[in-house]
């Protein structure tokens, strides 16, 4: 499941980029005022979203690896009873 690993890596790279901008904002690189505070809030949202997406990709990769190794693809083990036609 290499594509999920690559996806997680891309999400982490985006998270890290947003975090660097947020750190620069916190160090005063962009000045102050309402627009800069709004930018900081947006950057924090980006950090959290991309972190969540990276965690999801890790989870999906682990699930796919498990399914491939065990043959358990999450299919239901119990089948629904057949409904017969009423005459």
CB atoms within 10 A of CB 30: 14
Of residues 59 and 75, the one with the higher pLDDT is 59
pLDDT higher than 90, residue 82:
no
Q: What is the DSSP string of 1-53?
A: -HHHHHHHHHHHHHHHHHHHHHHHHHTTTT--SHHHHHHHHHHHHHHHHHHHH
Residue-wise pLDDT tens digits, 22-59: 999 999 999 999 999 999 999 999 999 999 999 999 99
In this prediction, residue 86 has a pLDDT band, given cuts at 50, 70 and 90, of: low
Question: What predicted TM-score, i.e. pTM, was given to this entire model?
Answer: 0.76
């Amino acid at each position: 499941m290499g594509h999920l690993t690559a996806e997680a890596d891309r999400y982490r790279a985006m998270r890290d980029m947003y975090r660097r901008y947020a750190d620069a904002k916190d160090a005063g690189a962009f000045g102050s005022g309402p627009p800069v505070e709004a930018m900081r809030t947006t950057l924090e949202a980006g950090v959290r979203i991309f972190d969540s997406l990276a965690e999801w990709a890790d989870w999906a990769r682990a699930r796919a690896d498990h399914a491939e190794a065990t043959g358990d693809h999450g299919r239901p083990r119990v089948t629904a009873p057949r409904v017969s036609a009423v005459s």
